[in-house]
Amino acid sequence: MSHDFFQYRELLTSAVGHAVEYLESLPDRPVDKQVGSEELRLSLGGPLPEAPSDARRVIEELCQTAEQGLVASGGPRYFGYAIGGSFPVALAADWMVSAWDQNAPYYVSSPAAAVIEETAADWLLELLGLPKAAGVGFTSGAQEAIYTAMITARNALLKRTGWDVAKQGLYDAPRIHVVVSDQIHSAIKRALWMIGMGEQNVKKLPTDGNLRIIPESIAEVLAECDGPTLVCAQAGCIDSGAFDPFEALADAVGKHPNAWLHIDGAIGLWSAASEQQKPMLQGLERADSWDTDGHKWFNMPYDSGIVIVRDAALLAEAMGGNSMGAYLTDAIAKPDRNAINFGIGASRRARGVPIYAAIKTLGKQGIEKHLDACCALARRMADQLRQVEGISILNEVVSNRFSAQFGQGDDEFRNTLTARVVHCLQQDGFCYPSTSGYKGLKTMLISVLSCHTTIADIDASAEKIVATYRVEAAKLQAPDTAS
């Protein structure tokens, strides 16, 4: 079976046709076709192939059989969780990343990738108003970015006490206090578990009705932390889009003898790039580290995450610095960007390339337009829904997301009705919200993240949500028709 270079043109041409057909179907196709896993296993599974198959036929069959199980999360009416679409130029650039097939962690393995990512990092810092000398790593997503930042924070905090994690490990190391919002995201929890800090060391700061840390609580809680202390805040709470009081947090951290402030901005860090929105993020630049996702609000293809650490040397030291194998000594010693110093991956694709292409194509003005449009569309939908009796918008819509509840009555009734409404909307497939929780309440979460969402999509989706609510409310209140 030959694998010559002339095969690429035929196979990629075939793939382009299928890809464009899928992408052009997104405005009209059901968001979720609700296919069962067993049905997918029958069409996609089977025994291990013994003999070679025709490559083009494999691509054709793959596209045809996978299509039924694809969720149109890149479409204009997908509002669930926090999954954005893709800027066309970012997708095109990502295809080139696959074609070039460069290993990005070392300058010598791809000088072009190294300089492209170096440039993208510089542009990101300027765009977000963060320190120009900060270290920037391109990760698989915000989870990996948080993990990377937490490792750096842990090692730096312990280093200040005279403890060297690289040499001494964690046995008998000083205890690190952890201070978080009571709206802590699961990604922060997972990162703490992974780096051996655990939940027993966590102190929680109370939040207000918009899920924002109450500033008056910060100093008191930090006063209880008499050793190295890691403080985690949010730029864009998952359920309300709210921004924690970064100035007050930075002030308190600055007064503490050994504390580190990390800001989880998986969604909302991008607001710092908007002149309209950045007043809500005052003090953001005073943190020690930040994380965000490219594949959420910035509409990069999966996967794309970013970790930023104020002191690049601390990030490089935590990632192993120059302590690499002998066969990589020359590669690390080059006076150019070696991305392995900015992340945990020793082999990865050049994730910074799509980010570079998007920033160069959109410019600051185009990026701001995208960010501000998403916020305006979220406010528009929330305004339409709150006009309907029995629909409550639980948060002030300060960004691109909001939480809603349906019905009137006690919490149990509203929680049940809300879950039914969201389930029916997902089954219907016209638009796709998700469920979440808001201080113990079951909610419908709407996230407007896609560059493809229009006013018409928002208005039609709001109409569908209201109609579904009325049908499900009538069913739930009528015992003889309840299901």
User: Alpha carbon 479 to chain centroid distance?
Assistant: 42
pTM attached to this predicted model: 0.95
Q: How far apart are CA 64 and CA 284, in angstroms?
A: 47
Q: What was the pLDDT predicted at 330?
A: 67
- Label each residue of the chain as H, E or C: CCCCCCHHHHHHHHHHHHHHHHHHHCCCCCCCCCCCHHHHHHHHCCCCCCCCCCHHHHHHHHHHHHHHHCCCCCCCCECCCCCCCCCHHHHHHHHHHHHHCCCCCCHHHCHHHHHHHHHHHHHHHHHHCCCCCCEEEEECCHHHHHHHHHHHHHHHHHHHCCCCHHHHCCCCCCCCEEEEECCCCHHHHHHHHHCCCCHHHEEEECECCCCCECHHHHHHHHHCCCCCEEEEEEECCCCCCCECCHHHHHHHHHHCCCEEEEEECCCHHHHHHCCCCHHHHCCHHHCCEEEEECCCCCCCCCCCEEEEECCHHHHHHHCCCCCCCHHHHHHHHCCCCCHHHHCCCCCCCCCHHHHHHHHHHHHHHHHHHHHHHHHHHHHHHHHHHHCCCCEEECCCCCCCEEEEEECCCCHHHHHHHHHHHHHHHHHHCCCECEEEEECCEEEEEEECCCCCCCHHHHHHHHHHHHHHHHHHHHHHHCCCCCC
Nearest alpha-carbon partner for 179 in 203, 196, 161: 203
190 half-sphere exposure, CB direction, 13 A CA radius: 10
β-pairing, 434-438 vs 401-406, is unpaired
Count Cβ neighbours within 10 Å for each residue of 367-390 and write b for 16 or more, e otherwise: bbebbbbbbebbbbbbebbeeeee
Q: List the structure tokens of 327.
A: 């066969």
**Regions in the chain scoring below 70 on pLDDT:** 1-3, 321-333, 478-483
CA atoms within 13 A on the CB side of 131: 16
Q: How far is CA 284 from CA 129, 217, 268, in A?
A: 9, 19, 11
Please give the pLDDT value at position 324: 61
- What is d(CA 89, CA 337) in angstroms, rounded to the nearest whole number? 25
Q: What is the pLDDT of residues 333-384, one digit of tens each?
A: 678 899 999 999 989 999 999 999 999 999 999 999 999 999 999 999 999 9
Query: How many whole angstroms separate alpha carbon 64 and alpha carbon 460?
Result: 30
Work out whether the CA dihedral 157, 161, 167, 173 comes out positive or negative.
Answer: negative
Architecture of domain 92-358: 3-Layer(aba) Sandwich (3.40)
Closest CA to 404 of 441, 443, 371, 439: 443
Quick check: 468 and 422 in contact, CB under 8 A?
Answer: no
Q: Residue 182 corresponds to which tokens in the numbers above? A: 């009571």
Q: Given the structure tokens 């650039």, which residue do they identify?
A: 93
Burial label, 427 (beta-carbon count in 10 A; 0-12, 13-18, 19+): exposed
Structure tokens at 440: 């113990």
The whole-angstrom separation of Cα 85 and Cα 73 is: 7
| pLDDT number for residue 481 | 42
Cα(281)–Cα(311) distance, rounded to whole angstroms? 21
pLDDT at 4: 79
Q: Is the dihedral of CA 171, 174, 179, 182 positive or negative?
A: positive
The pLDDT value given to residue 123:
98
pLDDT value of residue 483: 43
434 close to 401: Cβ distance less than 8 angstroms: no
- Nearest to 264, CA basis, from 435, 150, 129: 150
The Cβ-side half-sphere exposure at 223, using a 13 Å CA radius, reads 5
CB atoms within 10 A of CB 481: 9
In this predicted model, what pLDDT tens digit does every residue of 275-327 receive, in sequence order?
999 999 999 999 999 999 999 999 999 999 999 999 999 999 999 865 666 66
Q: Domain 364-477: which CATH class?
A: alpha beta
Q: How far apart are CA 281 and CA 243, in angstroms?
A: 7
